[in-house]
Structure 1
Amino acid sequence: MKIEAIDEFQAELVAASSEAAQSEPDTAIHEIAQRIGSLSISLASAGGEISDTSARVVSEAEVFQGLAEKTSQLTAQGQSVLESANSAVAMSEQAEATVCDTSKRLGSMVVDVKGLIDRVQTIFERLSQLEGSLQRVATVSTEVDNISRKTNLLSLNASIEAARAGRHGRGFMVVAQEVKDLSNLTSEATGEIHDTIGELGKDLRNLIEDAEQAVSSANCIRQQTNGIGAEIEEIPQTLARMAASQRDILTASEEITNVTDEVGQTIQALTQDVTTSASSLRDAQSAMADITEDAETITGMVSRMGVETVDTPYIRAVKEAAEEISGLFSDAVASGRMSLVDFMDTTYTPIPNTNPAQVMARFTPYMDSVLPPILERMLKLSEDVVFCAALNRDGYLPTHNKQFSLPQIEGEVEFNSAFSRNRRIFDDRVGLAAGQSTKPFLMQAYRRDMGNGNFTMMKDLSVPIYIDGTHWGGLRLGYKA
């Protein structure tokens, strides 16, 4: 409830007190009781809103804390990226300088390779010319060999004629013999020349074939080196563009790191503020719970004073029903149908495959056999009555109204939460207070979750149930405020 509402209530309380001085005390007390009852509802509503807000703020604090941690990680990663970008820029600049030098040397090598190719081509051409010269020498050697044969034939003829001449042809015989010897020597020489030229021609042919292959390879190299020059010139330019891009990345990384630091500081400050707000809300929730409890206590005190209020018929009916149930339980113990130990059993056996979890106690089957008529009868008190159920001091509710005791449907948690409320333990503030209270009656106000974010204000009236003087729990009646 907001502070303005409390101030308004105090003003109305003062006004009511003033009126009470001029009217009957019962009328004033009755009006005070109504105002306190309304106050209880308002406080419960405000307490529920504070509880929801507190839960949201706590959740947001956890989210902010997670964001702060992630932002810190992002900042560290950004710093790592920044360092990597710095390193990459340095290495890129170094690579650019190295590639420039290498490019110059490669360019020089390309020029040298082109010169080498030209020289190989020249050697091939000269070898081809040499082959032609050798062929001409072979031709000349053949001609000399032919002349030698003719000379040898002439010397033979001359020797025959000199022999016929007798004594007068001896001198001519000597000349003919010398010519024959010269012809033989010439023939031998031309033979050796011919053989040498043949071997030299064979070697020259092999050399020419090698030279042809070298020229072919050189032409391939020429084709490849024609594009290398442009590519080598392009490499430093490409590295320069890459270095520029890396410098842009470096600048962006520095900006991201700065922004991330600022965001991290902002989130950290918000986290501290939200955490402080969550703590304040918890304190406010606790204070509101105390105020609500005080208002509920005052409402109960007024009712016990005998002042007739809108809650009086419900209080009377629940007291009678609780006494009836206490009598049934005590009779069951007296007859031996149930023992007090069975009634006080707190060993709860889980029912498999239930969500929300349902459990069984030793006394659950007995409750199912005797409580439904009483619980269903209580629903007829008023159209505002929503439920009536008995629960023990642990908040265990064995038996509920028929409409809230439907079998669970596997996987349908929302349906089960709304319509399978029997055999469950309700250990929330209202449930535990209803089961553990030993006051003649306890009036509480709370918000009932109707699902899908919808809530309705409820009054929870509980009266203790005893078994031969032993407090077992309480009978709860919930009705719309």
Structure 2
Amino acid sequence: MASRAFGIPGFSRKRSGSDHSPARQDETDANIDARETLDEEPAREAAADISETFDLIEADLAVAARSIVSSAGAVKDQIDDQTRIISGIRSDTTQLSARSSEATANASQLAEAIEELTKTSREIGAQVANTTTLADKAGGIASQANDGVTELRSAVQKIADVVSMISAVAKQTNLLALNATIEAARAGEAGKGFAVVANEVKQLSEQTQRATDEISANISQLQVTAEGSIEAVNLIIGVIDEIRPSFVSVAGAVEEQVATTDEIGRSAHMTADFVREVSERVAAISTATDAADETGTQITEASTRMTGLTEALSTRFTMLIRQTRAGNRRRHDRFPVDLQGRLEGAGFELTVRTLDISEGGALLKMPEDRTVAVGTRAVLELKGAGRLPITIVGTSTLGLHCAFGELDEAARAGLGTLIERVRSENEGFINAAKETAAKIEAALTQAVQSGRLDIEALYDTDYQPVPGSDPQQVTTRGLGVLEEILPPLQERLLDASKAQGMTFCVAVDRNGYLPVHNRIYSHPQKPDDPVWNAANCRNRRIFDDRAGLCAARNTRPFLIQSYPRDMGNGQIVWMREIDVPLHVFGRHWGGFRTAYKL
């Protein structure tokens, strides 16, 4: 393998031979310099290749992430459509179930009513049959009564005949007594006794006549009554004879009605059973629909989680690349600064505030009710920097991302002065973060060396949820030792930096896990009060948002960033943060975050 020279101080290569003139030596040195330059080319090319590889990986990851998110979105849309259909089916089955329940109740009531009707019809049939029997008996009795009355009429007629005969005898006797009286009167004294007898006979015949007259009158009345009874009995017999066919018809109709109601009852019971079965099927469909809806919801949630995880993975991987020297695309450091300015463009003029600034651009906070399209060209006027031409290159939840255009000398000088002032303002913050970070590294290294802290426990990422915590808190195997080592170092810096506006300073691992927060934010959680907990119980939590991961994954000497800090209950505080990486035995553990109100 050919050897290479790498520009090591004092190193020179001489050719063998007798020519050692100064001119020859100069030529030789020039050749060596040329070789050194040539030897540096592969290194630059390799760095360029690595940078290009990172760009390709990031681009491929972005395409894959978009594809996954698009597919997940399509799945979610389909699931949403199915969910809407299932919701419609559920609504229909709910209505059908209600109608089925009503139909079941109505069918049951109908079956019960028909059973009652059948019973009543049977009772009516029995009554009709009984009435027919009674009519037959009444007809027989009437016939017997008619016969009895006819016999009575014959007997009365016979009595009348006898009475008539008695009456005739009484009349003759009365006539004979009259004649005897007359004859006794002719006989004189001799006929007095006969006259008395004749008078008695006459009186007796008269009484007999009166009695026979009265009997005759009663017999006549009895005959009239008997005739009336005979007519009434005959009428009854006629009516019974007339209604007997009706009873027979009614009995037949009742029997037919009983048979019909029996059939209707069977049909009603079959209908009730069918409706009950339909109700059971509807309930089964409703249960299946609920299960399908729940499954759809779970799939939607899984799709949403997949989209979130994909986006989070993409974000994490992009940040991982961006935090490396080869993958970092930032040509300029960004410095958080709160400055008021004016943004002027075609048809708009807005008051804005800067969140961070660099030699290449700025992040602006816009009024909440206004938007500016990406690609818009405008002018940003900042006090001390003048009027800076900008292009809107992106928008996000953070604000409006702007890139500076071609700057004239005055604007470049003003911007440079502004950035140098902001840089020098942050210099003290950077040094303070580096000093405490070095102390934390030393303390963790010493704890591992002494055996107090196991190296695997320090790097443990098997986060165990704290039961009942809300927001979720987690523990690791190294938490106990960290809770002993970190508080004194963190609290000392916080106390010393409060005058400069420091809000918190904490160590986090590479995943954004914050094991030990400052005491002011490390209160025990309150049950059923997640809002208070979110603001006051921030220890043992994972903050894997953009700012948290940037701080956790940063491997450069320091990182300055600005971000909105969510304190819970809708309270957002904009922060300026200086982050320094933490290494233990040369292995990246995480970062030390120091935050100040912006």
| TM norm. shorter chain > 0.5 | no
Task: Report which of the two structures shows the higher radius of gyration computed on alpha carbons.
Answer: 2
Per residue, is there more helix in 1 or in 2?
1
TM-score range, shorter chain: 0.3 to 0.5
Q: Which has the higher contact order (CA 8 A, sep 6+)?
A: 1
Per residue, is there more strand in 1 or in 2?
2
Q: Give the TM-score normalised by structure 2.
A: 0.38
Q: Give the TM-score normalised by structure 1.
A: 0.45
